[in-house]
Every structure is written in C-alpha cells, then in structure tokens.
Amino acid sequence: MKITNITLYPVEPRWMFLKIDTDEGISGWGEPVIEGKAATVAACVREMSDYIIGKDPRNIEDIWQVLYRGAFYRGGPVTTSAISGIEQALWDIKGKYYNLPVYEFLGGACRDNIRVYCWVGGDRPDDVGNAALEQKKLGFNAVKMNGTEELHYIDSFSKVEATCARVAAIRETCGKDFGIAVDFHGRVHKSMAKVLAKELEKYNLMFIEEPVLSENYEALEEISKHCSTPIALGERLFTRWDFKKIFEQGITDIIQPDLSHAGGILECRKISAMAEAYDVSVAPHCPLGPIALAACLQMDACTPNAWIQEQSLGIHYNQGSDLLDYLKDPKLFDYKDGAVGLLKGPGLGVEINEELVKEKAMKGHNWKNPVWRNADGTVAEW
C-alpha cells in the first residue's frame, strides 16, 4: 500500500482537515492546525508531502522520524502540528486496513470511558454560574473557564476578586462535587498568579491551567509552592523533549499535550508514559474539531493516567460550525453522565461528512487571535 495524495480543507470555525489517500482506496483523516496560523501549517504539510507520497502509510514510526529528524531545524508549533495531522491520518488508514481502532495497536483498552468537561464563559468570562448549571443539566459534571481578562504585571486586586466571584457562582449553583477548572491562559504574570492561585484555593478546584506561560519554569516552581491546587499545563509544549524539563522539575500535576500540536497520537502516548513514571496525570488539550477529539479518545482508551478529556462542543470559538457538524453520525460521541465511551470503529473511529467538508472549505476561514492591550497601551497576553 502506498500514499498517493494529500488534500487539505480549511473549515470553519478555525480548523484544518487533512485527507491522505492510498492506492488501495483507503483514506485517512487528520487535523493539522495551529489556531490562528492554519495556512502556515498547511504550507508545512504540503512541504512534507514530498517525503510521504509513495510511502507505505503503515510505517508510522519511520515516517514520523523522517518528518521530525529529517529536518535540520525541528520542533516548534508549526512543524509538530503538521506532523501531528499527518500522523493521525496514517493511524486512521492503518486502523481501517486492519479493521481495528487505533488503541488496539497501542496496548488495547484499559478503560470503558473517559470523563469530559465543557467550556463556559468565553474569552471575557461572564455569567458562568448559570452557564455551568446548564451544562450540569445536560449531564456534564465538570467545566473549565477563563479566569481573567487582561492582567498587567501588577494589577488591581478587584480583578482577582472578580475571578473568585465567578468561581463562587459556579460552586454555589452546581454544588461541592462539581468539577471546576480555571484557565489562567498564560495571561497572568508571576506576581499576580501567586495571588490569584492562593485566593482560589478555597473553592477546591480540579486544577488551575497555565498559571504562567509554560516557558517560565522558575515561576511555575514558585507558584506551585503557594497553593495546593493541582497545576495543569502543556498545550504549548511540543514533543517529549519539551515535556522532559517539566517532569524533571516536578512543577506540574497534570499535563495537557495537544494531539494536533505535540506530535500526534503515538508521540503523546509516549509523553503520557513519561508522565506516568513521574506520577503525573494526563488531560489532553482539545479545543478543536472532531478528528482531533477522535485522536484524543483513541489515546485516552489505552492510557491509564488519562483522567479527563477537553472537548469543544459549544465552545465560544465555534462560530459557524460546531464539533458534531462534520460527522456523518453526530451521535458517535456518546456523552453520558459526564463521560464519553470508547470509539470502537476502525482507525480513528469517526466518519467524516466529506461533502460538507468540501462545501465549507470553499469558504474557508481566516481566524486570528485577538490582540489585547492593558490600560496603559502595552500589549497584554491573550
């Protein structure tokens, strides 16, 4: 079996789908994208196609090594996101060829389902109490919210109080056992992150996410000493080499590799195995589309230290199209009692509505990150 063609589809709201065809009529789907730089990643995939056309798609490890090590300059979000989408599609092909779900190639299932959480509140969080209650009524038992708007290096304590008030509203409306995660989104600098983390402790959060940017290793170590709340990070780390230092310094409790950014399914399974050796759990990052989520669920199925899965149903970015719209069977992601069952179909376990994908790709998208500024005009972290 040989790879014959690749096709890229930019689709709303901010996703990029990849289809890889073979000479045996089996095709696989992947989701290579960096939010805000979809066209850049697409160009990288096209450059990499010279290395994969004519190759046997079942030789996934070898193709991955060629794409990663075959370049003198390696790593980073664009390159590894391109590799991730290609790798997902290769697994989809291999699973369809052997008529097995991907997790069967990676040790088999070690669970029946995986807990999931929803987003509430948007970029500038508001009325999260009622939004979380609506999710609870739909059967979900955990949500995540952005903690703050812009925060300067040193900022008003009233902004900290506003965050606490929003978290308190969720706790009051949804109860003490309802899961709440607060995403600092890298918007918070060390001085304010220490204050915010300490003030949020009393709400017994599932975790705080990216209390500072992941590259600020020394700040993460200091913040971890100021609170007992589990710290999660990793959506902006790429391959096991980026995660190595995080594990060695013992500065996180939960890692969040993104299977469309960090190198794909097998690479993130390797990262998860490293995490297990350091007694760290896994909550894959996935504010993306159905192919990315399917890839995550395949890894979750065979990863014992995976404990909760992000998914984008109803997320504030999904303007124009939502998570389930591109599936032939929208009921495939069987949300029940706050969890999702295993995808047992071959490959990634999802069937994509290709006609709709082609139709949406005619329009495409040009989604970009917003640019925020502090009151004094300086650029703020988004």
Q: Which among 44, 45, 27, 82 is positioned nearest to 357, based on CA atoms? A: 27
Q: What angle do CA 247, 250, 256 make, to 5 degrees?
A: 55
Q: Which two tokens stand for residue 355?
A: 């006609």
Whether 152 is catalytic is: no
- Residue 6 phi/psi, 5° resolution? -130, 145
Task: Report d(CA 294, CA 311) in Å as an integer.
Answer: 10
Catalytic residue among 185, 189, 261, 365: 185
Q: Which among 305, 302, 300 is positioned nearest to 339, based on CA atoms? A: 300
Q: Identify whether 13 is preceded by a cis peptide bond (ω within 30 of 0).
A: yes
Task: Report d(CA 300, CA 282) in Å as an integer.
Answer: 9
Task: Report DSSP state, residue 260.
Answer: T
Whether 226 is catalytic is: no
Q: Which among 285, 293, 362, 360 is positioned nearest to 77, based on CA atoms? A: 285
Task: Report d(CA 174, CA 276) in Å as an integer.
Answer: 31
Q: Is residue 129 within 8 Å of residue 165, measured between CB atoms? A: no
Element (H, E) at 181: strand 179-183
Q: Are strands 339-341 and 335-336 parallel, antiparallel or unpaired?
A: antiparallel
Q: Is 167 helix (H, G, I), strand (E, B) or coil?
A: helix
Catalytic residue among 152, 189, 226, 285: 285
- Residue 91 phi/psi, 5° resolution? -65, -35
How many other C-beta atoms are found inside a 10 Å radius of the C-beta of residue 112? Answer: 9
How many other C-beta atoms are found inside a 10 Å radius of the C-beta of residue 86? Answer: 29
How many Cα atoms are found within 13 Å in the side-chain-facing hemisphere of 23? 8
List residues bridging with 101 in a β-sheet. Answer: 347
Residues annotated as catalytic are 185, 285
